[in-house]
Amino acid sequence: MRKLLPILGSHPGGRSAMTCRYRCGDACFHEAPNTSGNEYAGDIIAGALSRRTMLRAGAVAGVVAVAGTGACSGDSAGAVTAGAGSAKGKPAKGLRFTPVEPNTADKVTVPEGYKQNVVIRWGEPILRGAPAFDPKKQTAKAQEGQFGYNNDFLSLLPLDGGDGERGGARRQLLVANHEYTDEVLMFAGYDADDPTREQAEIGWAAHGLSVVVVEGESKSGALKAVPRHRLNRRVTATTPFEVTGPAAGSRWLRTSADPEGRTVLGTLNNCAGGTTPWGTTLHGEENVDQYFANTEKVKDEKHRKRLERYALKGTDTERKWERFDDRFDVLKEPYEPHRFGWVVELDPYDPDSAPRKRTALGRFKHEAAQPRLTRDGHAVVYMGDDERFEYLYKFVSSKRMRRGESRADHEHNLTLLDEGTLYVAKLTGDSPADEIDGSGELPSDDKEFDGRGKWIPLATGDRSHVEGMTADEVYVFTRVAGDKVGATKMDRPEDVEASPRTGRVYAALTNNTDRGASGKAGPDEANPRKGNKHGQVLEFAEKDDDPAARRFTWRLFLVCGDPDDPDTYFGGFPKDQVSPISCPDNVTFDAYGNLWLSTDGNELGSHDGLFGVATTGPRRGEVRQFLTVPTGAETCGPIVQERRVLVSVQHPGEVDGATVEEPASQWPDGPDEYVRPSVVSVWRADGGNIGV
Ligand code: FEO
Ligand code: CA
Ligand code: CA
């Protein structure tokens, strides 16, 4: 069912050098900034469960309690019966599609019997007064009213009193991140050494977030944008944000433009995110280091080292924004970088509300933030810090979510992410240490990579739990706090999300080619491969099924790569029956509890894709590829509704040497048109449920 294609590139994670440069400021080409000497240790047990709330038209209504048991430590692969489907011998309900073969087609390839449409493209006008897209005459003003560049995270929120989950004609509210800009593919004749002010300002306007109402066609899963709707909104790199939580007003956040340290202009590099049970969206500010110039020239060593711990480096930046706004130059505004690298919360139903930077969730390269609730209503947010050898975090709110629909209830819920405890993860393996030799061979004791973990508290409100650091310092320099308490260095922790069926939590660890390199952390049981090109998916279960627990058990659910390679593992499922998968990045779940994974980079020669995999029942670990994206693109923001799959096609055509004049992709509109990052909807031609 699969055929492997020739290996194409050698950039880490299979990305083009252009993607590395524009997206993450060549994060994989410089020394990983975690040079701390902390090592591995750990502890205890658990089970699984959960409950998840569903959104209802902006306020919160029903809570869906879900079934499912099975202790992570006890059940062997395949021994847990799924709450939904998984009849023996048949694919899990929700995964009964013919897998897409690995391929390099310059299009979105979907399974047989499925259809697709482009929902919205970079530059489509969404606000009143915004002009039609004309890339040759683009202006910052036009871009401020148009859909931004490089859509990543997506959220679909219900409108008109319906849940919008079933497709059809109902309107929904689409929220999208715009992670970064690729000027070479946006501007004809772009001169990277001498960008114009207008180009910089277009870049500011093309970053950020979009909120746009979308409408379904009556007899398909197609969606289209509703321009000029009163809820449509753009948030950009210059939109005022309110800083909230325990570090608001901290001396580390003050600048000459904002001596109070409470108002920041804009958000940058929003990668993935989450949708809260109280009807807001969360957005992770990720590779923000690349926007700030002149770290190398900072004389104050303590300050420079703190910047370097966050990967800031060098002199000029790629986009040269420091030439047009002093705040992007750390010699002129030393603390401006501290004002990025947060989780931001947006209330998309309130277009006049200020978006907020939530300092209680710590500052690092936030990939995503998907909350869940404890049984008694505390919000728990798992978070990955996406850089080599960085950490996994968890925030537990001190307040409980109110389930009422009054304005007061909503205002209360908007404070949930401002008070609580921030934790970092430490994982310990339980197999003989000499068997974790970096080869990826399963240890002999229990034939899987597994062990125990604990959540180490870093700060609670204004109280620091880290010796030698104030609470402010813990929030603003969270990586340093993780170093001090000996958190486990992971292989690039990305999206983390709990299964609504079992309560088990899944974290994508995308890759880490430096694992085991000279002078770097060696393999451990949770990160067991040296030179890890393909990544792994960690599964963990909180003790007593309590998301607020301090202890958990974990195991690797997938060790990704070519299933023919002995260092791969697919939840115990026969490896000759799975799709190859490389560099897992985003995670989400369908209504049946299947895990869906999108990939970023592919070291197996195929284009990136979206994959589904059962996590319980006899098909546990059977990875099936659902779609692939065009040349140079990454699959992001997956949403799997009952009758519709939505993906972000990010950075299509981003191949080394490609320009506007000589594009590497013709997607989505064919030759002679600009390559445009876009959102795509996929549905079953016969109107049936996805994958069933
Ligand atoms: Fe923007 Fe970690 O991917
Ligand atoms: Ca083990
Ligand atoms: Ca990502």
CA–CA separation, 462 and 578 (whole Å): 49
Identify which ligand lies nearest to the alpha carbon of 446: 2
Strand positions, DSSP E, 4-93 = 51-56, 59-65
Distances (CA, A) of 261 to 71, 256, 303, 385: 45, 9, 18, 24
Is 457:434 a contact under the CB 8 Å cutoff?
no
State in Å: Cα 482 to ligand 2 middle.
Answer: 24
The ligand whose atoms approach the alpha carbon of 73 most closely is 2
**Average pLDDT of the segment spanning 353-373:** 98
Q: Kindly list the protein residues that place their beta carbon closer than 5 angstroms to ligand 2, a single-atom ion.
A: 430-431, 450
pLDDT at 43: 22
| Whether 431 contacts 443, CB under 8 Å | yes
Closest Cα to atom 1 of ligand 1? 271
The C-alpha angle with vertex 248 and arms to 243 and 254, in degrees rounded to 5, equals: 90
Q: How far apart are the CA of 309 and the centre of ligand 2, in A?
A: 32
How confident is the model at residue 88, as a pLDDT? 57
Give the three-class secondary structure for 255. coil
State residue 379's pLDDT score.
98
CA 386 / ligand 1 centre spacing (Å)? 6
For the chain, what is the total number of helices (H) and then of strands (E)?
8, 34
Ligand 1 atom with minimal separation from the 386 CA: 2
HEC string for 541-607: EEHHHCCCCCEEEEEEEEECECCCCCCCEECCCCHHHCCCECCEEEEEECCCCCEEEEECCCCCCCC
Residue 79 predicted with pLDDT over 50: no
Give the pLDDT score at 81.
29
Residue 177 Cα to ligand 3 midpoint, Å, equals 11
With beta carbons less than 8 A apart as the criterion, state whether 621 and 573 touch.
yes
Nearest to 342 by CA among 278, 397, 417: 417
Higher pLDDT, 63 or 566: 566
pLDDT of residue 13: 56
Least Cα distance to 125 among 208, 206, 227 occurs for: 227
What pLDDT score does 89 carry?
65
Spacing, Cα 452 to ligand 2 middle (Å): 9
End-to-end CA distance of the chain: 20
Cα 295 to ligand 3 centre (Å) = 26
Question: pLDDT tier at 91 (50, 70, 90 boundaries)?
Answer: confident
Output the CA 211–ligand 2 centroid distance in Å: 45
| Calpha distance 510→27 (Å, rounded) | 14
Please indicate whether residue 92 or residue 450 has the higher confidence score (pLDDT): 450
CB 387 near ligand 1, within 6 Å: no
Average pLDDT over residues 205-210: 98
For residue 386 and ligand 1, the question of a CB distance below 6 A is answered with: yes
As a whole number, mean pLDDT of residues 620-627 equals 98
Beta bridge partners of 589: 595
| Residue 42 pLDDT exceeds 50 | no
Tell me the residue ranges of DSSP E strands in 18-79: 51-56, 59-65
494 close to ligand 1 (CB < 6 Angstrom):
yes
Ligand nearest the Cα of residue 24 is 1
Measured from the Cβ of residue 80, the count of other Cβ atoms closer than 10 Å reads 23
CB-ligand 1 contact for 634 (6 Å cutoff):
no
Nearest in space to 561 (alpha carbons), one of 537, 534, 536:
534
Q: What is the pLDDT of residue 538?
A: 98
* pLDDT on residue 665: 98
pLDDT, tens digit, 9 for 90 and up, residues 156-175 = 999 975 544 444 458 999 99
Residue 65 has pLDDT above 50, yes or no: no
390 within ligand 1 shell (Cβ under 6 A): no
CA separation for the pair 207, 286 (Å, rounded): 13
Give the model's confidence band at 505: pLDDT under 50 very low, under 70 low, under 90 confident, else very high: very high
How many Å lie between the centroid of ligand 1 and the Cα of residue 177? 12
Alpha carbons 60 and 57: distance in angstroms, whole number: 8
The answer for residues whose C-beta is within 8 angstroms of residue 396's C-beta and 6 or more apart is: 374, 378, 379, 380, 420, 421, 423, 547, 548
pLDDT of residue 537: 98
- Using alpha carbons, select from 633, 667, 683 the residue that is nearest to residue 223: 683
* pLDDT at residue 25 in the model: 81
H helices of 272-368, in order, are: 301-309
Query: Which bound ligand lies closest to the C-alpha atom of 390?
Result: 1
- Residue 367 beta carbon below 6 angstroms from any ligand 1 atom: yes
User: Ligand 1, closest atom to CA 287?
Assistant: 1
pLDDT at 77 over 80: no
Q: What is the pLDDT of residues 542-586, one digit of tens each?
A: 999 999 999 999 999 999 999 999 999 999 999 999 999 999 999
What is the structure's pLDDT at 601? Answer: 83
Average pLDDT over residues 313-326: 98
List the one residue out of 194, 220, 224 whose CA is nearest residue 212. 224
At residue 501's C-alpha, the angle toward residues 456 and 558, to 5°, is 65
For all residues of the chain together, what is the average pLDDT? 89
Residue holding tokens 């493209």?
121
Which atom of ligand 1 is the closest one to the Cα of 23? Answer: 1
pLDDT tens string 475-503: 999 999 999 999 999 999 999 999 999 99
What radius of gyration do the chain's Cα atoms show?
Answer: 23
Instruction: Report how far residue 168's alpha carbon sits from residue 678's, in angstroms, rounded to the nearest whole number.
Output: 21
Question: Nearest bound ligand to CA 442?
Answer: 2
Report the pLDDT value the prediction gives residue 267, as an integer from 0 to 100: 98
Collapse the DSSP code of 198 into the 3-class scheme (helix H, G, I; strand E, B; otherwise coil) and give the result: helix
pLDDT digits (tens, 9 = 90+) for 7-20: 223 355 567 887 87
Q: How far is the CA of 217 from the centre of ligand 1 (A)?
A: 32
Contacts of 651 by beta carbon, 8 Å cutoff, 6+ apart: 19, 22, 23, 150, 182, 185, 632, 633, 634, 677
pLDDT in tens, 458-470: 999 999 999 999 9
* Token couple for 146: 């148009």
Q: Rounded CA gap, 692 and 686, in Å? A: 12
Residue recorded with tokens 């180009």: 199
Atom of ligand 1 nearest to the CA of 367: 2
pLDDT confidence of residue 217:
86
> Is the dihedral angle over the CA atoms 313, 319, 323, 328 positive or is it negative?
negative
Query: Do residues 279 and 61 lie in contact, with contact meaning Cβ atoms separated by under 8 Å?
Result: no
Instruction: Tell me the CA–centroid distance for residue 585 and ligand 1, in Å.
Output: 7
- Pairwise CA distance, residues 522 & 394, whole Å: 24
**How many degrees, rounded to 5, is the angle at CA 217 between CA 213 and CA 222?**
80
271 in contact with ligand 1, CB cutoff 6 A? yes
Among residues of the chain, what percentage have pLDDT more than 70? 89
Whole-number Cα distances in Å, 215 to 119, 391, 458: 9, 39, 44
Least confident of 29-43, 254-268, 310-324, 350-364: 29-43
The pair of structure tokens assigned to 640 is: 């799997």
When pLDDT is averaged across residues 275-287 and rounded to a whole number, the result is 98
On whether the CB atoms of residues 77 and 621 are closer than 8 A, the answer is yes
Q: Is the pLDDT of residue 259 over 50?
A: yes
* pTM greater than the 0.85 cutoff: yes
CA distance 47 to 545: 5
Residue 661 has pLDDT above 60, yes or no: yes
Task: For 109-142, write each residue's pLDDT tens digit.
Answer: 999 999 999 999 999 999 999 999 999 999 999 9
Closest approach atom of ligand 1 to CA 510: 2
654 lines ligand 1 (CB under 6 A): no
> Ligand nearest 153 Cα, by number?
3
Which residue is listed with tokens 């799709």?
A: 579
User: What is the predicted pLDDT for the residue at 604?
Assistant: 86
Lowest-confidence segment of 46-60, 192-206, 352-366, 615-629 by average pLDDT = 46-60
Average pLDDT over residues 502-527: 97
Structure tokens at 14: 């299979």
